[in-house]
């Protein structure tokens, strides 16, 4: 990598005469010229930025302000901590593609399907983080379409507007849709322990014990 950096900074023109053997970057320059002039070489593999750029996600703690790279956390982080940065980056990219930029800087009249489809999305996130991720999708103007097993229905009833049950009997498949009203979502959220503070939980436990 250090030699490549030197080559970038050398500002030596290509294809303007033979490179002298005494030149400190003679070998590298000759390789570059040979590759570019060879008609049988697939130049696309050299044009792919993913082959020579390194990408990193940084995680910042809101409480401490400490920032750590994801590559250091992935070996010790929980499943939810591993998934969350990927979802944040992916959902932000989807919103940017749909809206042509950050939605916060676009006219409020911008609209569209803006579909974000996932198979068993947020499966490793706890309830609190899952709720925040769904809110994040809404803020980005995305419409979530999530496919998952039966066990996830109870959890998603707290966030979903429509749930479609699909099952198969023999060679035939059936589907039934349930519309989840706002009142239902509000009442489910009100009794969700993951959204309550420690003090609120203690009050609820005290009232139940009386």
User: Among 15-29, 75-89, 106-120, which stretch is predicted with the lowest mean pLDDT?
Assistant: 15-29
Strand intervals (E) in 35-78: 58-60, 67-69
User: Among 73-82, 86-95, 117-126, 139-148, which stretch is predicted with the lowest mean pLDDT?
Assistant: 73-82
User: Among 98-102, 136-140, 149-153, which stretch is predicted with the lowest mean pLDDT?
Assistant: 149-153
Q: How confident is the model at residue 7 (pLDDT cuts 50, 70, 90)?
A: low
Helices H, strands E: what count in the chain?
A: 9, 6
In the 8-state DSSP scheme, what is residue 16? S
**CB atoms closer than 10 angstroms to residue 194:** 13
Nearest-angstrom CA–CA distance, 170 and 116: 31
Highest-pLDDT range among 86-100, 122-136, 142-156: 86-100
Which class for 125: exposed (0-12), middle (13-18), buried (19 or more C-beta within 10 A)?
buried
Give the model's pLDDT for residue 78: 62
pLDDT tens digits along 24-35: 667 777 777 777
DSSP strand pairing (58-60 vs 67-69): antiparallel
* Mean pLDDT on 147-157: 74
Position 185 pLDDT exceeds 60: yes
3-state secondary structure 110-166: CCCCCEEEEECCCCCCCHHHHHHHHHHHHHCCCEEEEECCHHHHHHHCCCCCEEEEE
């Amino acid at each position: 990598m250090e030699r490549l950096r030197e080559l970038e900074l050398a500002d030596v023109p290509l294809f303007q005469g033979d490179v002298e053997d005494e030149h400190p970057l003679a070998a590298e320059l000759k390789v570059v010229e040979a590759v570019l002039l060879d008609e049988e070489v697939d130049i696309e593999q050299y044009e792919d930025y993913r082959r020579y750029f390194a990408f990193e996600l940084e995680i910042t703690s809101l409480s401490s302000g400490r920032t750590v790279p994801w590559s250091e956390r992935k070996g010790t982080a929980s499943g939810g901590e591993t998934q969350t940065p990927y979802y944040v980056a992916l959902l932000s990219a989807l919103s940017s593609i749909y809206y042509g930029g950050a939605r916060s800087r676009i006219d409020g009249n911008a609209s569209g399907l803006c579909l974000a489809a996932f198979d068993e999305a947020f499966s490793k996130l706890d309830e609190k983080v899952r709720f925040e991720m769904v809110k994040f999708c809404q803020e980005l103007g995305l419409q979530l379409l999530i496919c998952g097993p039966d066990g996830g229905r109870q959890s998603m009833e707290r966030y979903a507007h429509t749930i479609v049950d699909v099952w198969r009997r023999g060679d035939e498949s059936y589907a039934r849709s349930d519309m989840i009203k706002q009142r239902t979502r509000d009442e489910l959220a009100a009794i969700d322990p993951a959204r309550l503070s420690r003090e609120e939980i203690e009050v609820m436990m005290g009232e139940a014990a009386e």
